[in-house]
Amino acid sequence: MKKFSCLSLIASMAIATPLLADKVSEAFENMEVKGEIKTAYVNSNFLGASESDSVLAIGGNIGIVTGDFYGFKAGITFQASSVLSDDVDNNNSSPFNVNGVSKRAHYFDASGAVLSEAYLQYTLSNTSLKVGRQFIYTPLVSTGLENKSSEAIIKDSFEAYLLTNTDLPDTKIVAGYINKWQAQSDGLGDVADFEDVEDGAYTIYAKNNSIENLTLQAQFLNIDGKTSTGDKDAFYFQADYKLGHHTVSAQYLNSTDKSQASNAQDGELFGLKATGPLGLGKLGYLLAYNSSTDNNGAVFTGAGEGATDTPFTAMPVHDGGVPTRADTDTIVGAIVVPAFGATFIPYAGKSFSDSHALGDVTAMGAMAIYPINKNLLVKVDFEHVKVQKLISENTDTTRVYLSYKF
């Protein structure tokens, strides 16, 4: 009997081997290759800096995803950047820089390469499990986003286990465990390596559009600190309602950050936004409002640089750091102007705060996005920021991108 079983197994393998080889061959024949080459120039005299920082860098990414093999797919993405020239003050001691680093310029001051994605994905019916290094795009866990402040040559990445299910009608549910994070730069001129996210992070995200014209999103994120002072959590909710050609949105964010002072650990943010056409040719508009209600605690927006763009009033260059201050009200308005094959977006905003050391913060700027062809794109951002108190120097930041996608 054992001999018969062995022979049966060998025979089955002999028959199956050509079939498996065909499936493997098919998976590689259906492989997708995508990439981007990007050049960026950034000049910024960030708040408190004695002189402007400037960086000229070139880089990009290339990603490969195999076709399906009995429900399995694999993917890898390499990212690389090379600084052609830089004039960056790594010893800047401004209290409004991050560890002495000007966020606006140092995100681009990175040379090196990193394997940002290396994952295996298995899909069965309406459920998929994705394991390994990967880009993530959710409100509280987010890779850098195009046309947002988090955009740079190198994008954030995460080492994670991500389970996605769409069994419920018009509903997407994502549950995940994240143990490592790769930032855009180490702040010292190199591409960042993957580092521990404290003792790990857990998240669950849900998106539903079962009600006509209404989209609902909710997410919870919990980060376990290596010590209790590293514990963080956040809850996010967003509702978007289409009203004709207009969209009205509301958001709520509640967070706890144990790394802050005992009376400044809790943060809370409310937001409203409206977008749509102005009714004058092809002109469009955006009007957004955020209110941070806690008297002492700033709002923790989540993991990854893309999460800093989650507040509705996050600035295209200076992200959501200002509206997420404690006890702050912020309003932002923008006009979308399509002209000469390009899109121009002038905008202005102001944050009001009686308690923060900077006081009120005023910003104004403009974006220009011009697609030369379907693969080649030019983007120019300029933003001017003025603060009421403490620092007399204003901030002017200019960013120029040239991007080719293939």
For residue 44, being part of any structural domain is answered with yes
128: domain range?
30-405
Q: Chunked in runs of 10, what are the mean pLDDT values of the chain (406 residues)?
A: 44 50 67 95 78 90 95 97 84 49 75 97 97 98 94 96 97 98 90 95 98 98 94 98 97 96 94 95 96 89 96 94 94 96 97 89 96 96 91 85 96
- The H or E element that residue 10 is part of is helix 2-29
Annotate 109-134 with three-state secondary structure: CCEEEEEEEEEEEEEECCEEEEEEEE
Using the structure block, give the residue that is written with the tokens 């000229």.
Answer: 56
User: What pLDDT is attached to residue 227?
Assistant: 92
Q: How far apart are CA 81 and CA 77, in angstroms?
A: 14
Q: Which residues pair with 153 in a beta bridge?
A: none
Quick one: residue 64, left, alpha or beta (phi over 0 = left, psi -120 to 50 = alpha)? beta
Give the count of domains, the chain: 1
User: What pLDDT is attached to residue 126?
Assistant: 96
For residue 24, being part of any structural domain is answered with no
For residue 140, being part of any structural domain is answered with yes
Encoded amino acid at 329, one letter: D
Q: How far apart are CA 24 and CA 378, in angstroms?
A: 40
User: What pLDDT is attached to residue 100?
Assistant: 45
For residue 396, being part of any structural domain is answered with yes
For residue 10, being part of any structural domain is answered with no
Q: How far apart are CA 378 and CA 147, in angstroms?
A: 11
> What is the per-residue DSSP string for 171-227?
EEEEEEEEEEEE-S--SSSBPPPEEEEEEEEEEEEEEE--STTEEEEEEEEEE--SS
For residue 74, being part of any structural domain is answered with yes
For residue 179, being part of any structural domain is answered with yes
For residue 8, being part of any structural domain is answered with no
* Backbone phi and psi for residue 2, each to the nearest 5 degrees, phi listed first: -65, -40
Q: How far apart are CA 368 and CA 384, in angstroms?
A: 15
Specify the CATH number for the domain of residue 38.
2.40.160.10
